[in-house]
Amino acid sequence: MFYFKSFINPLRFFKDLKRKDHKPSFGALDIFKYIGPGLLVTVGFIDPGNWAANIASGSNYGYTLLWIVTLSTIMLIILQHNVAHLGIASGLCLSEAATLHIKPAISRPVLSFAVLASVSTSLAEILGGAIALEMLFSIPVKIGAILVTIFVIIMILSHSYQKIEKWIIGFVSVIGLAFLYEIFLIDVDWAVAGISWIKPSIPEGSMLLVMSVLGAVVMPHNLFLHSEVIQSRQWNLQDAKIIRKQLKFEFADTLLSMGAGWAINSAMIILAAATFFKNNVVVEELQQAESLLRPLLGTNAALVFAIALLFAGVASSITSAMAGGSIVAGMSAEPYDIKDNHTKWGVFISLIGALIIIFFIGDPFKGLILSQVFLSIQLPFTVAIQVYLTSSKKVMGKYANSKFMIVVLSFIATIVTYLNIRLLFDLVFG
């Protein structure tokens, strides 16, 4: 298995790639060696921002907006698989590749915008963890935000990537089990839910929530993060057979992980639809959701909800900060290395920037929703540079996008752009 120390030390990384004896076996069980990078991405789209967007969607419109989770997840699988190809085939993350292969007049503004997206993401993650601490221990939100930020910084600075990955896999498991537990406690109209998963519908006044769900699932910072962390599974970029195996196993990891994320996000909307919407209750803050679940589903359900939210906030704060570090390091044409100052600056900008903004937010729940809308607005720019880079033979060699894949990726970019224009129209003229 690839030495994780090589991920921390770039010089050793490239030395290891040249070793002829440093080759993996690819038996039937070797797929489990690849499970990890996809889950790091998954935790990013089951974060507190998703909780707010999904619960608001379910409480306001019932099962109707489940389709956007399905569409977003399909787009996410394609985009994440494509950007992972960039990391595997080129040995560069998305930010590094943009810095090296796109003119600064274009790459610098897009990457700077991506850093702001990382801050916006961290805002939702830290805020969600703080809200959970308030639910569990009556700690004021702003003090809770400070505690979450300090804990996340300690986690990132004192643990290796390998250890962080294991922590996050554990967090994702707890969150998933929590929502499975919640679902078994409620009466779900599965027939209506099944139709809503595949039937697009945008009810009047729902555009803001549609965009927030989209931004909460297909997140720009995850595209940067996946292209970076996937390199922890590499052995030898000069061996075509090994690269093909990596691409195959990476897709399995992505599909499994994104599928788990789809199930958890769907469960959130279903939970809100079957409890709040069914009882004509519109949720306007996560604290309200927890307190309303108590009489509807019992004390245990409310407790599980709060604990899962805390795990989601901490885990996703780690991934958003790592993404910020990767983006800023990439702007200097460097890989993620928490010992390097550029990476540290990216991590601190993401976390501290978010923490400062939290102190000026009057309505935490609305802040969570709007942070996800901001991500959806930034997304077309990130997708545009991704499509350009992964379609370039100079960057990707023989692994460059096929014409069919270029069409598919361009179609996704068109959908996202259309939804953003629709949102702008609704906000201005609605």
Tens digits of residue pLDDT in 27-78: 444 544 555 566 666 666 676 777 778 888 998 999 999 999 999 889 888 8
Return the closest-CA partner of residue 331 out of 127, 111, 122.
Answer: 111
Return the closest-CA partner of residue 126 out of 332, 294, 340, 359.
Answer: 359
The 10 Å Cβ neighbour count of residue 276 is 23
Does residue 24 lie in a domain region? no
pLDDT of residue 106: 92
pLDDT tens string 89-118? 888 889 999 999 999 999 999 999 899 888
Does residue 21 lie in a domain region? no
Tokens of 430: 């609605």
Determine the Cα–Cα distance for residues 302 and 296; give it in Å rounded to an integer: 9
Return the sign of the alpha-carbon dihedral for residues 241, 242, 244, 248.
positive
Burial 193-220 (b: 16+ CB within 10 A, else e): beebbeeeebeeebbbbbbbbbbbbbbb
Does residue 405 lie in a domain region? yes
State the average pLDDT over residues 6-24.
Answer: 38
Q: 202 pLDDT exceeds 80?
A: yes
Tokens of 415: 């959908």
Q: 417 pLDDT exceeds 70?
A: yes
Per the structure, the complete domain to which residue 325 belongs is given by 4-14+29-429
Give 129's contacts (C-beta < 8 A, 6+ positions apart): 48, 144, 145, 148, 309, 310, 312, 313, 314, 317
Number of structural domains (the chain) is: 1
pLDDT tens string 335-393? 888 888 999 999 999 999 999 988 888 777 777 777 767 777 788 888 899 999 999 99
Does residue 200 lie in a domain region? yes
Determine the Cα–Cα distance for residues 197 and 201; give it in Å rounded to an integer: 10
Length of the chain in terms of residues written: 430
CATH of the domain at 107: 1.20.1740.10
Tokens of 19: 């070793």
* Angle, helix 207-217 to helix 403-429, in steps of 10 degrees: 140
Does residue 296 lie in a domain region? yes
pLDDT of residue 115: 92
Does residue 48 lie in a domain region? yes
Does residue 342 lie in a domain region? yes
Does residue 23 lie in a domain region? no
